[in-house]
Structure 1
Amino acid sequence: MPVGVIESLDHEARGIARQDGKTVFVDGALPGETVEYASFRRKPSYELAHLVKILKPSNARVEPLCPHFGVCGGCVMQHMEPAAQVAAKQRVLEDSLWRIGRVRPESMLPPIHGAPWGYRHRARLGVRKIDAEKGVMIGFHEWRSSYIADIKQCSVLRPDVSRLLLPLRELFASLSVVDRLQQLEISVGEHCVALLLRILAPLNSNDQRLLREFADFHQVVFYLQPKGPDSITRFYPTAGPRLSYTLPEFDLEFDFLPTDFTQVNHAVNQVMVRRALRLLDPQPGERIADMFCGLGNFTLPIARSGAHVLGVEGSQGLVKRGRESARINGLADRVEFGVANLFECTEKTIRAFGAFDKMLIDPPREGAIELVRSLGECKPARIVYVSCHPGTLARDAAVLVNTHGYRFVTAGAVNMFPHTAHVESIAVFEQP
């Protein structure tokens, strides 16, 4: 059995060892460990391997809290001490910036992190009926599999939501249309817990009664989605608590639908917005762009500073709810929203938006390559880039630095998803 010394973690939280000129990626191994491994895929320059035995453990290795760890694919780093996870993600960010973009910031920001357990306010879980005896399974997908993990609790969900998993299994097993129930989407708001059922058949009267009784007893709100996103309806109770989240520091509240994109970690989101605003430093009278603005998570805090903000987003529905939030929060006179596909933007698109003093960019995992390429003569003095993928940030940073001449001022990791390999970050670019 081959033996390797683990040097670091990659972007999927696999241990990296070097052996005979090859890079070996070992699932479950931690930096500093000496391990035995078994390769399951061999390529000319690398191998993928399973951990067989730990010969010398890392000081950062801990016992996973969740009994489903190793099977459930929701978490991949519970065997690593939370502070060490944060440090490892900061290194992944630095390594990606240099290896992919050949860029380095002038300084590194301290990582943003929060509570490692009970932080998830959103989750999308699969639902599967097994048989009459075993009933229904609810869970994330198994690690590197399309099968649903049979979980009975989840340590990263809010505890009150985790406690709903077993009662929900019983409820779903009793529905006449359980075979057509594909997915459960959980959204925890400031005032309620919303449960969206993707169910491809109509409920009969008994099904409806069971859902109403469950909602009343557990104080949750059911939404139904029989078809596409436009088919979502609030089933029960039809009136009552709003589904919303808040940014108390900016005196803001945002209403959203269960399928709208919102950050899963409300506490870390509040710190991230605070940092982004400090780095952007919006001033009264400035004109600022918020690209990929979504519901206005950054747009409205920027407007609170007195600046005028244009939020641009590809989804008409998100823009509609962003405008409504601006109105409810008393910011409609400082905020303008526009709908545009920023994945296909050109210099002409950017010029049509007008001139900006500063810009915030918060794209999905695909990054913002067409946007940064298209800045042309419309380059703002400062760009704050909030990223959810260090690889695409590195690629886009190279364009900003090498094509447009920006200084890469600073960057730092954001641990939005403890115990996962997901790395978010904030980066700042300035015109010299």
Structure 2
Amino acid sequence: MSKVVKIDKIVYGGYGLAKDDKVYFVPYTLEGEEVEIEVVQEKKDYSLSNPINIIKPSPERVEPVCKYFTLCGGCDFQHIPYEKQIEIKKEILKDQLLRIGKVDLPIEKVYPSQPFNYRIKVQFKFDGKNFGFYRQNSNQVIDIDYCYLLKEDFNQIIHPLKKFLFKYALSPSQVIVFSNSKNQKLIKFVFPDNSQIANIIPKIEIYKDEIDENIKGIGFYDKKKRQLLLGEYVIFETVDNYKYRVSMDSFFQVNIYQIKNLIDLVVQEVKDKGYKRAVDFYCGVGTFSVPLANYVREVLGIESNEEAVKDAKTNVRHNNLKNLKFLKAKTEKGLKYAKDFKPEVVVFDPPRSGLNKTIIREISKIESIQKIIYISCNPSTLARDLKDFKEYGFNPLKVSMVDMFPQTHHIESVVVLEKF
């Protein structure tokens, strides 16, 4: 049974929030719209709903550029002009920080992105017939031939990739592609088991001829473990004056237009401040550690991903640095090394789950720390953690927003905290 509701505002997750007899979360809507909805999932305190008909559309609503919008689960905001997307994200970030973290700060700086064709990494899904992305909240694969979020060279290989899989009767569950600014590519074929590995054609030239001549390396995986490698395992990316080696199993920021802005936000907090030592947790391949080493006497990077640590250690050499070291350790174990290192500055760039109270408590015990720079991709866990940091003596002073994921509800932010 359908009903008509009015959207009060857009909330975290990309949903329009409506209040009637109860709270309704409705995707693909805008504030002020009257929408006919159908409830798809009842919860105790709210209902998840789908819009059936936009009865009274917002004057700001625009026609989505992508024919798969609302089918594919990748985008939330293509019906919203990009400038308005930024406004909405700013308000959501402020609301989450205030409501969850009791942090009342203006968003000091906002860095918009190029709205489309920004992603340098993609994870295609394949079900034996359809090649593309999952439907929203589903494991059903939507077959696509173009994605507006991807760098243009990705879109040029979608058809050749599909054709290749059918031609050689391969059924990977995922095909993960990373492309640098020179369009050089690493490709991972991830199979649900190892039964197809023996059928792989072991000549990279065939993949280059039939998929893309810019392929540098291909890995074949049984779930997460690599079984076979063709060509090279790494490619390089240059951001500003910094050179990064990135391997097939490492993490690198996915928006090619925003990596420099993130680095600049971190660097400006240490440049000309006289800090001697910095620790970079969840450091990956050294995205922030490498620039930091140009502005402080010593830097220690801590990362649990073994391949990322290998990349990071080579990036010390590629950037001619003598004052940067990397340690393979989970954050909880790395705290001991951080304590012995006596840093004045600590950088965190954790996964969406954020930190935990133990990490926050132990970091806060290190007397030498004067400043914490927290890079977050989840405002709700960020707000939770900031509340804990305040409890242990660190006050949030600045909040900046870097739009890493245009057309989606995801929000990247950088918060600077100082001891009070």
TM over 0.5: yes
Structure 2 unaligned blocks of 5 or more: none
Matched, 1:100 2:100: yes
Helix, strand or coil for the counterpart of 1:397? Answer: helix
Matched, 1:415 2:403: yes
CA distance in 2 between partners of 1:159 and 1:323 (Å): 31
Matched, 1:186 2:170: no
Cα distance, 1:228 vs structure 2: 5.5
Aligned match of 1:404: 392
AA partner of residue 373 (structure 1): R
Aligned match of 2:43: 43
CA distance in 2 between partners of 1:405 and 1:202 (Å): 54
Cα distance, 1:24 vs structure 2: 1.3
Helix, strand or coil for the counterpart of 2:31? Answer: coil
Aligned match of 1:19: 20
Larger relative strand fraction: 2
Matched, 1:221 2:216: yes
Q: Indicate conservation of the 8 Å contact 1:128/1:148, yes or no.
A: yes
CA distance in 2 between partners of 1:18 and 1:39 (Å): 13
Q: Indicate conservation of the 8 Å contact 1:93/1:412, yes or no.
A: no
CA distance in 2 between partners of 1:341 and 1:399 (Å): 20
Cα distance, 1:205 vs structure 2: 7.7
Q: Indicate conservation of the 8 Å contact 2:280/2:346, yes or no.
A: yes
Aligned match of 2:85: 85
Aligned match of 2:359: 371
Q: Indicate conservation of the 8 Å contact 1:142/1:149, yes or no.
A: yes
Q: Indicate conservation of the 8 Å contact 1:361/1:385, yes or no.
A: yes
Cα distance, 1:383 vs structure 2: 0.9
Aligned match of 2:243: 253
Cα distance, 1:309 vs structure 2: 0.7
Helix, strand or coil for the counterpart of 1:256? Answer: strand
CA distance in 2 between partners of 1:347 and 1:321 (Å): 22
AA partner of residue 50 (structure 2): H
Matched, 1:358 2:336: no
CA distance in 1 between partners of 2:40 and 2:417 (Å): 42
Percent identity for Structure 1 against Structure 2: 26
CA distance in 2 between partners of 1:282 and 1:389 (Å): 30
AA partner of residue 402 (structure 2): V
Matched, 1:116 2:108: no
CA RMSD of aligned residues (A): 2.3
CA distance in 1 between partners of 2:312 and 2:280 (Å): 12
AA partner of residue 141 (structure 2): I
Aligned match of 1:424: 412
Task: Map 1:68-79; keep pairs closer than 5 Å.
Answer: 68-79=68-79
AA partner of residue 207 (structure 2): L
Q: Indicate conservation of the 8 Å contact 2:276/2:298, yes or no.
A: yes
Helix, strand or coil for the counterpart of 2:72? Answer: coil
Q: TM-score, normalised by structure 2?
A: 0.91
Residues 41 and 56 of structure 1: CA distance in aligned 2, closer, same or farther (over 3 Å)? same
Q: Indicate conservation of the 8 Å contact 2:279/2:338, yes or no.
A: no
Aligned match of 1:134: none
Post-superposition Cα deviations, 1:399-426, rounded to whole Å, max 9, x if no partner, equal 111x222222111322111111111111
Q: TM-score, normalised by structure 1?
A: 0.89
Cα distance, 1:56 vs structure 2: 2.2
AA partner of residue 219 (structure 2): L
Matched, 1:160 2:115: no
Structure 1 unaligned blocks of 5 or more: 131-136
Post-superposition Cα deviations, 1:148-189, rounded to whole Å, max 9, x if no partner, equal 11101111111121121112111111114x13x221111011
Aligned match of 1:394: 383
Post-superposition Cα deviations, 1:326-380, rounded to whole Å, max 9, x if no partner, equal 112101x1101122211x35975653x3311111111111111232121243151
Of stretches 275-284 and 259-268 in structure 1, the one that deviates more from structure 2 is 275-284
